[in-house]
Structure 1
Amino acid sequence: MRRAGTGRDVTRLLADFGHDLPAAPSLSPSVREPRLYRNAPRRGPRYRGSGWAASTRAPVSVWRMTSDQAPVLWPFIAAPGLPPTGAQMGIDVLSGGSFYLDPFGWVLRDDVPVTNPNVICFGKPGRGKSATTKAFILRMMDFGYRTLILGDPKDEYEPLCTALGVEPFRIGPGLPARINPLAFGPLAQGWADLDAAQAQVRAAIVFGRWLTLLRGLVGSQRVGEVPVPFGPVEENVVKAGLRLLTGYTHGTTHLAETTIPALWHLLNTPTPELVEQCRYASTRHFLDETRLLRDALGQLTSGALAGIFDDHTSITVDWAAPIQSLSLSRLEPLGDEAVGIALTCLSSWGRGMRELADPGDLRIMVRDEVWKQMRLGVEAVKSFDGDLRLSRSHGDVQWANAHKPSDLLSVGNAGSQAVAIAKDLLHLADIKILHGQDLGVARDLEQLMGLGPIARDVVTTWAMHGKGRALWCVGEQQYKVQTVLHPAEAALTFTNDAIAGAA
């Protein structure tokens, strides 16, 4: 028996008998494509110098940054949220949280870029600026704020006053209500107990306010296209007349209240004392040099002011009431100039009423249709500018409503002093609310507000697609806000009654 593996195989056996097996066909080796990637073990190759770190997961770096640094890396993240204090106005669309408005609270905080509590609200009619204003008024009452509507040209606030149990004061030709813009206000209280220095300080405040008013009223009158001048000469004449009428020249301890018609009558029939104080050679010299001033005051007395602001105040304002409103709707037939003059007089009167406000007596001063006042001329613009500057000292939130930013450009000729001051008014209101506007105002928004293309598109597109939508500019921060009204508030803020009735 042979050992395994020592015998002939099949090929040898067949060859011994003269047979050959056919050769197997040779196949060319297949060419493989080079591999781009090589699989590696989970923990990396196990040999020296391979360059792999043995780790079960990718390393993660941790970074910390503040909320104002985060938008640099994530530019679509919403701006830093405002503190939840004050009136809850609606929804911050970008963050999804609630949006609050607290003007004085923001002024007192260092983390909010606000230095004054004034608010300017722009918006095309029907976009919700009136509803936003009224919602703010109602919700701030819970924090002790009261409201004074310094002129309601369209009676928009009458339903709100009625709901709060307050009857608005209606001012117009033939109505019994009178407002004296030359009223002393609370500064007349305790005058007899003041020493000489204190009396001089109060007198400077009172006469300064009166001169600002009269400068604006006289400047609203025109000779052709040129406003009636009110320079140092006219100011000296008016100041001397007011001092004589009130008794301040004679050192009277109880000053008498005067009116604009009384001043006009004194200038028309000047006393020798007035002529001497104004340094004129004679009465005829005085009358010749003051003719334009006297004619302007006479036109106001017999025209726009007749029966409204030409006598002592006949209304008694309850300053403890939650709201007070002065209705000017009866002046609409007289034109925009008459409404503007009335707004200027009420502005001066309201400032006088607040000159000695008690600490903690916080008030919202609403000013509608401010463009009608500012179009009277540069002096009227200065008067409104002064009100905004005094808001911090008086404890008032000055809330001004206008249609569009370009209203500020229409107060005078391009490059004029009035336009320059009107533009600066935007800097005196750190809180600006921009409701929906047409595309035609995009250039004005870019020029006056310094908005970029994204913010501009928010105002001209998103805000136009729903009422109450607005871009809120709080200092340098911007927010997309949707004002939300309670059904009861919606009924009080509805301003389309006339249109709804016609439909």
Structure 2
Amino acid sequence: MIRRGTGRDVTGLLQDFGHELPTKPGPPTKEKEPRLFRSALGRGNPRRGAGWAASMKPPVASYRMTSDQAAVVWPWLAGPGLPPTGALMGMDAQSGGKFYADPVGWVRDDNIPVTNHNIFSMGKPGVGKSGTTKAFALRMLCFRHYKTFVPGDPKDEYERLCRFLGVEPIAIGPGLAARINPLDFGPLINGWEDLPRAEAHKRAQVVFGRWLTLLGGLVGSQRVGGAPVPFGPNEQAVCQAALEDLTGWSEGATQLRVTTIPHLWAALDEPSPALVNTCRYATQQEFMDGTRLLRNALLQLVKGRLSGLFDTETTVEIDWNAPIQSLSLSRLDALGDEAVGIALTCVNSWGRGMRELAAREDVRIVIRDEAWRQFRLGVDAIKSFDADLRFSRGKGDEGGDIQFAVMHKPSDLLSVGDQGSQAAMIAKDLLELADVKILHGQKPSVAGELDEMLGLGPVAKDLITGWAMQDKGRAVWSIGDRIHQVSTLLHPIERQLTWTQPVAEAG
């Protein structure tokens, strides 16, 4: 007889016959994380440096989200910064670190969304555009191969900087000795007699192409009943035929002759039978009738307000080894915005010609101040400016000129013609030729135009109308599709050199 409680259960019975029932797994054991801070009391020793806290479990809210969601909740999280190369401009308010500007280096870096190194700087007067521009040019001089060229300084803003660097600016104006021939060959004429035929043809195409673009801008700046003088295929063909004859290219000369705008006008005003025939006119009178507007427009350039400034051979010598060179145009200010715009078109084209054979490692910062005056001349002047941006020498890691255009607002680009016109569309497309935009403080209406043209977004728009207006030198740097909130910091000496107003005498 088996007493209660002493018998085998089912598990034991089955084990006697060699069967094992599966066991139910128990709850997993949790390993305790090692304590980083140990103290004798639960909340630490109540003394300084002992880890004491007022409560054991302070209320802390925890969230889990993706990285793209985090940018919405905390929009001021700083992304990857730019490499510390180039000119140290100031502080990046978003990251709290230093901000370096290196447009050519950005083009070389595949991680930065920049494909060209041209710069557009915009901002209302008095917000620090000139200070930022001059500080960039001055600080880049500290790096090998970088120099500055100002092909047209309408307000003498760069004279103080030039003299500080030991360079006397070149003044152009009525009664002065300096002369610029916009139809100058530049260095492409060097060694012409020894050039292979293919190279000579290549250089000739570059020279005549630059001249025709310039002439289009100059002729188109003249008006007939409010409409610009046309410079279409017929006018281009006539001018090119005359220029080829004047320089000796049409006759295969081994040494080309220097020509000027008065020479071109005289050749069209008294055309030779060969020129009439080359241009496919039946008679000389038909040639005169067909080129009347073109000749009258050129005559205004020869005998108009700018007479004697851009109609003779070049008399200035540019030292391209100097750290900076500037052509001062302030003496033309009394002649009006149109005259200054024409002068800017001439010196910019001449400057581009002078840079045709620049060495790859020779990087020039070409400052295009008061660019809006050139835009007002019409569509052909816009095309000339467009050509300067497109043909900046060098590609990527091969160097090249940095075109630095300074203006007030985006309407400077849109006011060149009616909305939707060819001039307005070309001017608007200029922004695509500069991957770097420095956007200083603006009024809300102007910031709205910038947002519409560049797609900045509400954050950048608010910075331009708010934060950037609160102090000089503040700007939103748009580098490709990246936005940086930068405050340019100037040394006291730089403030004296970059200040655009007369400096008060200490007394």
Confirm or deny a common fold (TM above 0.5).
yes
SS of aligned partner of 2:151: strand
* 2:95 paired with 1:95: yes
Give 2:210's aligned residue. Answer: 209
User: Retained in 1: the 8 A contact 2:435–2:479?
Assistant: yes
- Mapped to 1, the partners of 2:106 and 2:456 lie a distance apart of 22
SS of aligned partner of 1:106: helix
Which residue identity lines up with residue 338 of structure 1 in the other structure? A
- Mapped to 2, the partners of 1:196 and 1:69 lie a distance apart of 63
- Mapped to 2, the partners of 1:439 and 1:359 lie a distance apart of 42
* 2:458 paired with 1:453: yes
How far residue 392 of structure 1 moved from its aligned partner, in angstroms, is 4.5
- Mapped to 2, the partners of 1:69 and 1:324 lie a distance apart of 51
How many residue pairs match? The answer is 450
Deviations 1:29-80, CA, capped at 9 Å, x for gaps: xxxxxxxxxxxxxxxxxxx99989645469xx9x9999x9974674320232
Give 1:230's aligned residue. Answer: 231
* 2:219 paired with 1:218: yes
Give 2:251's aligned residue. Answer: 250
Which residue identity lines up with residue 308 of structure 1 in the other structure? L
Deviations 1:442-463, CA, capped at 9 Å, x for gaps: 2212211212111111001110
Give 1:240's aligned residue. Answer: 241
Which range moved further: 307-316 or 434-443? 434-443
User: Retained in 1: the 8 A contact 2:356–2:393?
Assistant: no
User: Retained in 2: the 8 A contact 1:79–1:478?
Assistant: no
* 2:480 paired with 1:475: yes
Give 2:317's aligned residue. Answer: 316
Give 1:141's aligned residue. Answer: 141
User: Retained in 2: the 8 A contact 1:117–1:391?
Assistant: no
Provide closer, same or farther for how the CA distance between residues 268 and 95 of structure 1 changes in structure 2, counting only shifts above 3 A. Answer: same
- Mapped to 1, the partners of 2:354 and 2:120 lie a distance apart of 22
Deviations 1:122-149, CA, capped at 9 Å, x for gaps: 0111100101011111110111211110
- Mapped to 2, the partners of 1:64 and 1:257 lie a distance apart of 70
How far residue 275 of structure 1 moved from its aligned partner, in angstroms, is 0.9
How far residue 359 of structure 1 moved from its aligned partner, in angstroms, is 2.3
User: Retained in 1: the 8 A contact 2:375–2:412?
Assistant: no
SS of aligned partner of 2:362: coil
How far residue 345 of structure 1 moved from its aligned partner, in angstroms, is 0.5
Give 1:287's aligned residue. Answer: 288
User: Retained in 2: the 8 A contact 1:172–1:307?
Assistant: no
- Mapped to 1, the partners of 2:260 and 2:372 lie a distance apart of 26
Give 2:112's aligned residue. Answer: 112
- Mapped to 1, the partners of 2:305 and 2:121 lie a distance apart of 28
Partner residue of 2:406 out of 401, 409, 412: 401
- Mapped to 2, the partners of 1:75 and 1:467 lie a distance apart of 25
- Mapped to 1, the partners of 2:466 and 2:438 lie a distance apart of 15
Matches within 5 A, 1:348-359: 348-359=349-360
Which residue identity lines up with residue 460 of structure 2 in the other structure? A
Which residue identity lines up with residue 313 of structure 1 in the other structure? T
- Mapped to 1, the partners of 2:345 and 2:71 lie a distance apart of 44
- Mapped to 1, the partners of 2:156 and 2:166 lie a distance apart of 16
Matches within 5 A, 1:250-269: 250-269=251-270
* 2:367 paired with 1:362: no
Q: Where does structure 2 lack aligned partners over 5 or more consecutive residues? A: 1-23, 35-61
Give 1:411's aligned residue. Answer: 416
How far residue 288 of structure 1 moved from its aligned partner, in angstroms, is 1.1
How far residue 415 of structure 1 moved from its aligned partner, in angstroms, is 0.7
User: Retained in 1: the 8 A contact 2:366–2:403?
Assistant: yes
Give 1:163's aligned residue. Answer: 164
Which residue identity lines up with residue 372 of structure 2 in the other structure? W
Which residue identity lines up with residue 91 of structure 1 in the other structure? M
Give 2:384's aligned residue. Answer: 383
Provide closer, same or farther for how the CA distance between residues 51 and 343 of structure 1 changes in structure 2, counting only shifts above 3 A. Answer: farther
SS of aligned partner of 1:212: helix
- Mapped to 2, the partners of 1:175 and 1:318 lie a distance apart of 20
Deviations 1:5-24, CA, capped at 9 Å, x for gaps: xxxxxxxxxxxxxxxxxxxx
User: Retained in 2: the 8 A contact 1:180–1:311?
Assistant: yes
- Mapped to 1, the partners of 2:390 and 2:290 lie a distance apart of 34
User: Retained in 2: the 8 A contact 1:181–1:345?
Assistant: yes
SS of aligned partner of 1:497: coil
How far residue 303 of structure 1 moved from its aligned partner, in angstroms, is 1.2
SS of aligned partner of 1:346: helix
Deviations 1:161-218, CA, capped at 9 Å, x for gaps: 0101111000111111100000000000011111221111110000000000001100
User: Retained in 2: the 8 A contact 1:116–1:392?
Assistant: no
SS of aligned partner of 1:434: strand
Give 1:182's aligned residue. Answer: 183
Give 1:439's aligned residue. Answer: 444
When normalised by structure 1's length, the TM-score is: 0.86
- Mapped to 2, the partners of 1:446 and 1:64 lie a distance apart of 30
Which residue identity lines up with residue 489 of structure 1 in the other structure? E
Which residue identity lines up with residue 251 of structure 1 in the other structure? G
User: Retained in 2: the 8 A contact 1:371–1:411?
Assistant: no
Q: Where does structure 1 lack aligned partners over 5 or more consecutive residues? A: 1-47
Provide closer, same or farther for how the CA distance between residues 389 and 287 of structure 1 changes in structure 2, counting only shifts above 3 A. Answer: same
Give 1:331's aligned residue. Answer: 332
Which residue identity lines up with residue 115 of structure 1 in the other structure? T
Which residue identity lines up with residue 92 of structure 2 in the other structure? D
- Mapped to 2, the partners of 1:50 and 1:473 lie a distance apart of 61
SS of aligned partner of 1:411: coil
Give 1:6's aligned residue. Answer: none
- Mapped to 1, the partners of 2:316 and 2:65 lie a distance apart of 62
Q: Percent identity?
A: 61
Which residue identity lines up with residue 122 of structure 1 in the other structure? M
Which residue identity lines up with residue 340 of structure 1 in the other structure? G
- Mapped to 2, the partners of 1:120 and 1:437 lie a distance apart of 15
When normalised by structure 2's length, the TM-score is: 0.85
- Mapped to 1, the partners of 2:418 and 2:29 lie a distance apart of 74
- Mapped to 2, the partners of 1:49 and 1:468 lie a distance apart of 70
Please, what is the CA RMSD of the aligned residues?
A: 2.3
User: Retained in 2: the 8 A contact 1:117–1:392?
Assistant: no
Provide closer, same or farther for how the CA distance between residues 281 and 133 of structure 1 changes in structure 2, counting only shifts above 3 A. Answer: same
SS of aligned partner of 1:456: helix
Give 1:81's aligned residue. Answer: 81
- Mapped to 1, the partners of 2:378 and 2:196 lie a distance apart of 38
SS of aligned partner of 1:433: strand
Which range moved further: 48-57 or 108-117? 48-57
Give 2:374's aligned residue. Answer: 373
Give 1:430's aligned residue. Answer: 435
How far residue 224 of structure 1 moved from its aligned partner, in angstroms, is 1.3
- Mapped to 2, the partners of 1:311 and 1:433 lie a distance apart of 38
Structure 1 stretches of 4+ with a deviation exceeding 6 A read: 48-53, 63-66
How far residue 281 of structure 1 moved from its aligned partner, in angstroms, is 1.4
- Mapped to 2, the partners of 1:292 and 1:377 lie a distance apart of 17
